[in-house]
Structure 1
Amino acid sequence: MKKHLRLYTMILTVAASVTACHKISVTPNSMITADQFPQTDEQYQSVIGTIYTNLRGHYPLTFWFTQELTSDEAILPAYGGNWYDGSGYIDLHRHTWTKDHGWIGTAWSDVYSIIGLCNQTIYTFRTAPEGDTKNAAMAEIKTLRAWAYWELLDMFGNVPLDTIYPSPGVQAKADRAQVFNFVESELKAALPLLKTATGSATYGKVTRWMAQGLLAKLYLNAPVYAGTTKYNECIAACDDIIASGKFAIEARGTYLTMFYPNNGPSFKENIFAIPFDPTTSNGYLFHGRYDLNRNLGIKYRYSGATPGSHTLSSIIMNQTSGSGLVNTKPSGPRATLSGFYNAYFTDANDIRKDQWLVGTQYWPDGNPIKVATTKKGYDQFYTGSDGSTSYIYDLYIDSVIRLRQSVASMDLGNDEIAWNMGIRNVKFFPDANSASRNQNNDAPLLRYSDVLLMKAEAILRGGNATNGQTALSLVNMVRNNRTTSPAWTAVTLDDLYAERGREFTWECWRRNDMIRFGKYESTYGFKTNSDSYRRIFPIPTRALATNNKLTQNPGY
């Protein structure tokens, strides 16, 4: 979306490669003297916007792949060599990555670039006029830096704490508990200074509620991060958000629209979201490109696809042409695993089941979508003499993924059977008005339903129930707005784990949840690796090469 988040760079010219592994000696330049600018909130935001821009660029690919493809929720196989890409996606699924893995290296560089930019911006503001506006801006930047360090804490464990600009030089790793304490202290210090308003004015920006949500997430994972329990602290952070009265669970009838292209500040469930806009030049949301079946471009109006003057049910995909028809094809390599879907989406009354595409696909009038190919094009292993004969079939998305071409390369083959394997997710519904692959959907990082389920989990794990709310009542607050099936009468941690799987599909929380619930080493899909050291990623080779004080994480 949108016009709610205007990101400018009025002062800073920042190198994209700023990381904690490099000594930084750049002097910021400005045509306005430091003791005069910034003074207003608008002026501060014009500078801080660059940090949000970097976060937006980091989220939809690098962060998504490392959090989702390493879980049982998503898979990106190869199709006759297409999307093999040096086994990068396959290694994430199979938990066979090394210190040279491309996406893991990019994750490290991305996050330290955000940290370096935060440090540089704090330095730029050091001589700005003192006052509440400056204090709020500094708290906002430090919260963004805390988010970045939370990512590093979660993904890499022990990492350098580099908070000084200009940098004194490369830093050794701090242990995970130290990084945990740093993130906690930064967030707690920022809380009284952050904005509390919600709506258009602060949409997509750091607020007190975003910081409390991150604190709750930090405390809930404290046994993993710091070897301690902080469940009552998690509950207190959740309670502050709940007591604010500024958020609400979206009703069942509008749950899915909360993720559609016209989402934004009107939805009361989003605590912190990243706005995306097809007109921007940094940070693209490509879910339609990755998730839509190749033959569904016209139905979902993907990237300018249109039926023109044709009646939809008269179109035969790959055959019908003319009269304004534009058959733009998504790439369509990404899917979910049938084990995940079959375990969690059995309730026909649950609106969250409607985010999936599986089985025969239909036009809105109920007629099946037909696809034209050849017998050989449909099945590359077809050996009949009439392989080039025209063949028309009803589009069917198979829930089972089979490695028909190569087990080693996790390759399904390069035919219609292969491309139609794997249940597809359309939670982030493509934008029918976009002529590019970039989408207009905003991506939530923290939602109110997460706050309620985090509090429920903290109570189940031993925290004290507060304000008359129990783990069961909190879970039912969410479920009552998702399904018309009867409310639960009891809840266990396994129940809650499953509910989180239903609620936050495709929102980058599955890896975090699997580790906390002890499920990350399980066998799923084509993964058999059970190495527990893979709960954290390796320090990338390029980081080791530029910082001789770094040591590799155990197991790598």
Structure 2
Amino acid sequence: MKSFIYKCFIGGSVALSMTLSSCLGDLDLKPIDDNVIQLSDFKDNPQYYTQLLAKVYAGLAVSGQEGPAGNPDIQGFDEGQAQYLRAYWNLQELPTDEAVLGWNDAGLPELSMSTWSAANGFVYVMYSRVFFQIALCNDFLRNTTPTALAANDVPEDVAAQIQTYRAEARVLRALSYWHAIDLFGAVSFVTEENKIMEAPKQKSRAEIYQFILDELNAVEESIPLQPQYGRVGRDAVNMIRAKLYLNAAVYTGTPQYGLCAAECEKIIARHNTGTNHGLAETYKYLFGGDNDRYARGGNESEILMTVPFDSDSIRSYGGTMYLTVGSYGGKISARNYGVNDAWAGPRSTSTLVLSFSPQDERYAFFSEGASINNTNLSTYQDGYSVVKFTNLLSTDWDNAAGRAESYPDTDFPLFRLADVYLMYAECAYRGAADRETGRTYMNYLRDRAGMPQYDSVDDITLDEILQERMRELYWEGHRRTDLIRFEKFTSGNYLWPWKGGVYAGKSLDTKYNLYPIPAKEIAANPGIQQNYGY
């Protein structure tokens, strides 16, 4: 079993008072089990603050208090669908050239076809999940002020450690606010300074963008360079900031590619070591059952921020369960990939498969009995299965031991060094950094993939960088943001199957560059303005 901070949360829950009412409409949200640990118990048990922080981290991985299902954080929606990463992945991948999903749950086909409305339940659940996570962060911060700690007679050494915890909570809140503005634009804004049950005010995308930057700047020096596995480190701070700068033209109207390149250089300076330049030697091992080895420092510390999962103690119907068991189907033998079930869920688009040479080491598709074409959206085998994420071990990739778990041990890599190299290259080809250096960084990835190098800076264009981002980062939750930044998401000049609701693809109304504020949120908080076109 892996050792990480979530284990502090397993077996003991903490009751919270969360600022949720007007952010989430009439969704029935429950605090953490108030029959186990109350905030009043902290006076005699200062170790509970670690459990409180663990719940904040666990909010990215689990959907409730009892493993994969039971006693959910959010009621009123299927618990598996309401897991943070699954909800985020659906909104970031299903409307793009990388994935389709044929299940007929109300609202799901509309994601693959980019025909959603403000009533879409899957849009609603992500909005809800984001603000639940922000509420967890706010509540931790509200209950760990110097005044609150003094009232509970917290020892000085523990209080000093809690200051680092507070910095971590602010980074995690910044992460979720970034997701919020990326997906929804102008959203409700609430911090620990708001009173409980106070209706939050809506702030613009640009205002929250600046708030995130201010938060990251304020806590950066308190975040360790070498964090405990599963927790945020300095790389995460730099990466969130770099992502904001990379997309600043979308978020604020002002490009900041030079600032993005500078953030990338900070990360690269720490990791570009060894013969593999800080990358994992073998691409496929980054997405297997022991991929935590790449999130623990060292010369192959490619995973800069991870969400841990564990077959024994961190179980979920979202996360990598969704990307392994959930995505396997057809003639796949799930046991060959280290799990024992297959749901026939998300699958590849033909566009994704055809972007690769079959000799590319990153090519991870199962085609037996399937068509490459996505002719029928609801037919699983109209499209290849994606077997990028597995539960196989790097020490036994052929699975001679016959390992097959009900839940994967595979962590989800939120940020990778490979992405940093590609981000720098993009900034360079947008005129804000050195193109020769960008070419060198892209060739690191090409070398690992067994693909020919780019011989000259003239071999690379922005369109080629977008394609290389697909080949390197597919199914990792980046694609929608990338396509919007490259002005391809709604354009009629770049099509893929079922874009706009037709098999051949068609252009979209530009309103789809943002998701709508859910109708239930508008009803609960009439002061919130809807996004254009909804």
Q: Same fold (TM over 0.5)?
A: yes
Task: State the SS of the aligned residue for 2:324.
Answer: helix
Residue aligning to 2:325: 289
Partner amino acid, structure 1, of 2:59: N
Residue aligning to 1:181: 210
- d(CA) in 1 for partners of 2:135 and 2:334? 43
Deviation at 1:333, TM superposition (A): 3.0
Residue aligning to 1:345: 356
Contact 2:61 2:316 in 1 (8 A): yes
* 1:277-320: CA deviation from partner (whole Å, max 9, x where unpaired): 1223653322222222332225526644xxxxxxxxxxxxxxxx
Equivalent position to 1:453, from 389, 413, 422: 422
| 1:75 equivalent in alignment to 2:104 | no
Deviation at 1:17, TM superposition (A): 9.0
Partner amino acid, structure 2, of 1:187: L
- d(CA) in 1 for partners of 2:314 and 2:209? 34
* 1:15-47: CA deviation from partner (whole Å, max 9, x where unpaired): 79946627999996232328x836xxxx64332
Partner amino acid, structure 1, of 2:139: Q
Residue aligning to 1:255: 283
* 1:200-246: CA deviation from partner (whole Å, max 9, x where unpaired): xx222111111101100110000000111111211121111112237
Residue aligning to 2:105: 85
Equivalent position to 1:62, from 78, 84, 87: 87
Aligned pair count reads 464
- d(CA) in 1 for partners of 2:487 and 2:453? 29
Structure 1 segment 136-535 matched on structure 2, within 5 A: 136-163=164-191, 164-167=193-196, 169-198=198-227, 202-245=228-271, 249=277, 254-266=282-294, 267-280=300-313, 283-284=316-317, 285-297=321-333, 300=336, 303-304=339-340, 330-342=342-354, 344-346=355-357, 348-353=358-363, 355-358=364-367, 360=368, 396-403=369-376, 410-412=377-379, 419-430=380-391, 433-436=403-406, 438-465=407-434, 470-490=437-457, 491-522=460-491, 523-527=495-499, 528-535=506-513
Q: In 2 relative to 1, CA 7–299 (structure 1 residues): closer, same or farther, beyond 3 Å?
A: closer
Task: State the SS of the aligned residue for 2:141.
Answer: helix
- d(CA) in 1 for partners of 2:226 and 2:59? 24
Partner amino acid, structure 1, of 2:306: A
- d(CA) in 1 for partners of 2:315 and 2:338? 20
Q: In 2 relative to 1, CA 540–259 (structure 1 residues): closer, same or farther, beyond 3 Å?
A: same
Contact 1:204 1:272 in 2 (8 A): yes
Residue aligning to 2:65: none
| % identical aligned pairs | 28
Residue aligning to 1:384: none
Deviation at 1:141, TM superposition (A): 0.5
Residue aligning to 2:51: 46
Q: In 2 relative to 1, CA 484–443 (structure 1 residues): closer, same or farther, beyond 3 Å?
A: same
- d(CA) in 2 for partners of 1:513 and 1:277? 30
Q: In 2 relative to 1, CA 339–22 (structure 1 residues): closer, same or farther, beyond 3 Å?
A: closer
Residue aligning to 1:94: 113
- d(CA) in 2 for partners of 1:331 and 1:549? 41
Residue aligning to 1:21: 23
* 1:306-337: CA deviation from partner (whole Å, max 9, x where unpaired): xxxxxxxxxxxxxxxxxxxxxx5x12132111
- d(CA) in 2 for partners of 1:119 and 1:166? 11
- d(CA) in 2 for partners of 1:506 and 1:545? 34
Task: State the SS of the aligned residue for 2:240.
Answer: helix
Residue aligning to 2:73: none
- d(CA) in 2 for partners of 1:49 and 1:279? 17
Choose 148-157 or 225-234, whichever is displaced more.
225-234
- d(CA) in 2 for partners of 1:145 and 1:194? 14
Choose 245-254 or 186-195, whichever is displaced more.
245-254
Q: CA RMSD in A?
A: 2.7
* 1:422-450: CA deviation from partner (whole Å, max 9, x where unpaired): 111111114563442x2111010000011
Deviation at 1:252, TM superposition (A): 7.6
Task: State the SS of the aligned residue for 2:313.
Answer: coil
Q: In 2 relative to 1, CA 531–29 (structure 1 residues): closer, same or farther, beyond 3 Å?
A: same
Contact 1:53 1:282 in 2 (8 A): no
Contact 2:239 2:264 in 1 (8 A): yes
Deviation at 1:190, TM superposition (A): 1.3
| 1:111 equivalent in alignment to 2:113 | no
Partner amino acid, structure 2, of 1:76: L
- d(CA) in 1 for partners of 2:129 and 2:289? 26
Partner amino acid, structure 2, of 1:2: K
Partner amino acid, structure 2, of 1:111: V
Q: In 2 relative to 1, CA 136–298 (structure 1 residues): closer, same or farther, beyond 3 Å?
A: closer
- d(CA) in 2 for partners of 1:60 and 1:105? 14
Deviation at 1:56, TM superposition (A): 1.2
Task: State the SS of the aligned residue for 1:289.
Answer: coil
Partner amino acid, structure 1, of 2:161: T
Task: State the SS of the aligned residue for 1:545.
Answer: helix
- d(CA) in 1 for partners of 2:187 and 2:168? 22
Contact 2:24 2:521 in 1 (8 A): no
Equivalent position to 1:33, from 35, 39, 43: 43
Q: In 2 relative to 1, CA 469–489 (structure 1 residues): closer, same or farther, beyond 3 Å?
A: closer
Q: TM-score, normalised by structure 1?
A: 0.77
* 1:252-271: CA deviation from partner (whole Å, max 9, x where unpaired): 85110111011103451000
Contact 1:20 1:112 in 2 (8 A): no
Partner amino acid, structure 2, of 1:190: V
Question: Which 5+ residue runs of structure 2 have no aligned equivalent?
Answer: 63-82, 295-299, 393-401, 500-505
Contact 2:272 2:278 in 1 (8 A): no
Q: In 2 relative to 1, CA 302–240 (structure 1 residues): closer, same or farther, beyond 3 Å?
A: closer
Q: In 2 relative to 1, CA 183–269 (structure 1 residues): closer, same or farther, beyond 3 Å?
A: same
Deviation at 1:95, TM superposition (A): 1.0
Contact 1:220 1:234 in 2 (8 A): yes
Q: TM-score, normalised by structure 2?
A: 0.80
- d(CA) in 1 for partners of 2:529 and 2:405? 47
* 1:482-528: CA deviation from partner (whole Å, max 9, x where unpaired): 22423442311111101000000110000110000111014320223
Task: State the SS of the aligned residue for 2:23.
Answer: coil
Q: In 2 relative to 1, CA 191–515 (structure 1 residues): closer, same or farther, beyond 3 Å?
A: same
